[in-house]
Amino acid sequence: MKVEVTGAAPLDAEASVLAVPVFEEEVQGEKGLYAELDRRLSGHLAAAARDEDFEGKPDQCLALRTLGKLRAQQVLLLGMGPREAAQASLPKTGFEALRMAAGKASRAARKAGAKRLAFVAPRFPGQTAHEARAIVEGALLGAYRFDRYKTEPKKGKDTEGLVVLLPQGLERSKEVKEAVALARVVSAAVSWARDQVNEPPLACTPTRLAQAARDLAKEAGLHAEVLGPREIAGLRMGMFLGVTRGSAEEPRLVKLSYLPKGAAAKKPPTVFVGKAITFDSGGLSLKPTESMVEMKTDMAGAAAAIAAMKVVAELAPPFPVHALVGACENMPGGRAYKPSDVLIARNGKTVEVTNTDAEGRLVLGDVLAWGVETLAPALVVDLATLTGACVVALGPTTVGAFGPDGPAVDAVLAAARAAGEDTWRLPLTDAMQEELKSEVADMKNAGARYGGSISAALFLKEFVGKTPWAHLDIAGPSNASKERGYIGKGGTGVGVRTLVELVRARAAG
């Protein structure tokens, strides 16, 4: 989609759809741009709003044909709630409500077959660049669709152009241009992550995911290293190899690296670690059919970690950044690892397997230990569709964050807020450590049912030592069951924007 930023007057915008965020005060008092539009439309806009009970409340929308009275063929009103409340909350939430509104407008435009979407910025003082970025990200991500396996495309044509209408004179500012450029790169990265998650497991095997990472690295100018089973064995990753034993697909260990030039290359890096179970049957602790259907998405953490590196290459921060991914399938079979097996981790810990469906933490543990030992990072962040317990605790749209008290988790939570990705911190309760005690090994891979997301995080903590670390459980928001704002059904690409904001914040000092 071509993106244009202009200071043209909204009423003069030439577009198939003119999307206008409106606030409750404007609708109730019939003032501002809402009133101007109503006058140009001979009072039909206010009449339609009354008929449809449109009051400008959040998530409300109203579409109306202009019948030649505007250069835009259709007006789409998007409710934003009270202006004062929105002005206070939007900067604290990464302008997520505006991003959602732009996504909704983009999806509506595509379904209507609109070629050109014009979106009016709400015009909050001093926030123009942030508004522009949220609008562009929301519109581009809202236009995303995954239909490569459809023999008959869905109804609606792709929107060819997006016009962002800003206050005159501000559209040419350096801040706005940089914000729009960043929005385009971030949206492309999130879409890449969505593509990988949406691919069927036959097309997204460990080998193919590794090749996709290689291709991304080549395009972005990153260094890529891919290791196979022999090299993984040489790294003493006994937990990783245990999980992959039941599958005919070979595992892959992927490392993508951004290295700045000069002395900056020697600075302690930021490291992303992504869970990459390209299909999770549960192994011998087999999942029920209904739980297995979406298990192609169990590599969403890896997709986010790899995709974020595409943006990192554009940002060129003054410190190294690496993404580490251990990719494999978790399958039953004659060679599959079994409940009561004892696996030896890279760091020497022995782990009794009590549930083969608690496999992601085993792979992540080895990869985390390897990353900490070989890279000596300033910060490690792992992303994983790790536990259903986190979805029970926080619902399907909120990321669970874990980690010891300190700047690492604080930085990740601040990055999530800036990105607009809903993230809530959960505790690393010391008492839950009892759940991981084993009679035959150093620890078990799974505890009791209650507090499952906490015990899983505590398991991972055993493999990072004293390195600053944060764990993001994205099991809920990694995959959407229905459309919402800029999020369509399927993979969401959650986590990419948080990682990007984390790197930006560290680069800013």
pLDDT in tens, 29-38: 999 999 999 9
Positions annotated as catalytic residues are 287, 361
Read off the pLDDT of each residue in 452-467 and give the average, rounded to a whole number.
98
Q: Is the pLDDT of residue 167 over 90?
A: yes
Can you tell me which residue has the tokens 């660049």?
A: 129
Per-residue model confidence (pLDDT) at position 428: 96
Q: Is the pLDDT of residue 336 over 80?
A: yes
HSE, side-chain direction, 13 A CA sphere, residue 327: 34
Read off the pLDDT of each residue in 413-427 and give the average, rounded to a whole number.
98
We find that the CATH architecture of domain 2-172 is 3-Layer(aba) Sandwich (3.40)
For residue 484, what is the DSSP state? B
| pLDDT bracket for residue 389 (50, 70, 90) | very high
Task: Provide φ and ψ at 95, rounded to 5°.
Answer: 55, 35
Per-residue model confidence (pLDDT) at position 238: 98
Per-residue model confidence (pLDDT) at position 230: 98
Q: How far apart are CA 272 and CA 466, in angstroms?
A: 16
Per-residue model confidence (pLDDT) at position 152: 82
Taking a C-beta distance cutoff of 8 angstroms, is the pair 223, 217 a contact? yes
Read off the pLDDT of each residue in 171-184 and give the average, rounded to a whole number.
97
Percent of residues, the chain, with pLDDT higher than 90 = 97
425: β partners:
401
C-alpha dihedral, 41 to 44 to 45 to 51, nearest 10°: -170
423: β partners:
399
Q: How far apart are CA 503 and CA 500, in angstroms?
A: 5
Q: Where are the alpha helices (DSSP H) in 148-271?
A: 174-198, 206-220, 229-234, 238-244
Nearest residue to 165 via CA among 67, 299, 72, 254: 72
Read off the pLDDT of each residue in 239-250 and give the average, rounded to a whole number.
98
Q: How far apart are CA 408 and CA 466, in angstroms?
A: 11
Percent of residues, the chain, with pLDDT higher than 70 = 99
Per-residue model confidence (pLDDT) at position 206: 98
| pLDDT bracket for residue 343 (50, 70, 90) | very high
DSSP reduced 3-state for 226 = strand
Read off the pLDDT of each residue in 367-383 and give the average, rounded to a whole number.
98
Nearest residue to 122 via CA among 15, 23, 17: 23
Per-residue model confidence (pLDDT) at position 68: 94
Read off the pLDDT of each residue in 284-311 and give the average, rounded to a whole number.
97
Per-residue model confidence (pLDDT) at position 449: 87
Q: Is the pLDDT of residue 259 over 70?
A: yes
Q: How far apart are CA 287 and CA 192, in angstroms?
A: 28
Read off the pLDDT of each residue in 456-460 and give the average, rounded to a whole number.
98
Lowest mean pLDDT among 17-21, 150-154, 316-320: 150-154
Spatial CB neighbours of 138, under 8 Å, sequence gap ≥ 6:
98, 99, 100, 101, 102, 103, 105, 106, 485, 486
Task: Provide φ and ψ at 184, rounded to 5°.
Answer: -65, -45
Per-residue model confidence (pLDDT) at position 151: 87
Q: Is the pLDDT of residue 355 over 90?
A: yes
Per-residue model confidence (pLDDT) at position 154: 67
Can you tell me which residue has the tokens 């874990």?
A: 402
What are the distances in angstroms from CA 433 to CA 138, 344, 394, 422? Answer: 41, 19, 22, 27
Taking a C-beta distance cutoff of 8 angstroms, is the pair 69, 44 a contact? no
Nearest residue to 339 via CA among 201, 480, 441: 441
We find that the CATH architecture of domain 192-508 is 3-Layer(aba) Sandwich (3.40)
Nearest residue to 398 via CA among 453, 326, 456, 355: 453
Q: Could you tell me the residue ranges of all domains in the chain?
A: 2-172, 192-508
Q: How far apart are CA 358 and CA 452, in angstroms?
A: 10
Nearest residue to 270 via CA among 402, 377, 384: 377
Token couple for 212: 């996709």
Read off the pLDDT of each residue in 18-28 and give the average, rounded to a whole number.
97
Nearest residue to 321 via CA among 364, 367, 371: 371
Per-residue model confidence (pLDDT) at position 371: 98
Task: Provide φ and ψ at 76, rounded to 5°.
Answer: -120, 110
pTM score, whole prediction: 0.97
pLDDT in tens, 54-97: 999 999 999 999 999 999 999 999 999 999 999 999 999 999 99
Strands 379-384 and 469-473: parallel
pLDDT in tens, 137-163: 999 999 999 999 998 866 667 899 999
Read off the pLDDT of each residue in 346-354 and give the average, rounded to a whole number.
98
Per-residue model confidence (pLDDT) at position 244: 98
Q: How far apart are CA 439 and CA 443, in angstroms?
A: 8
Q: How far apart are CA 81 and CA 391, in angstroms?
A: 28
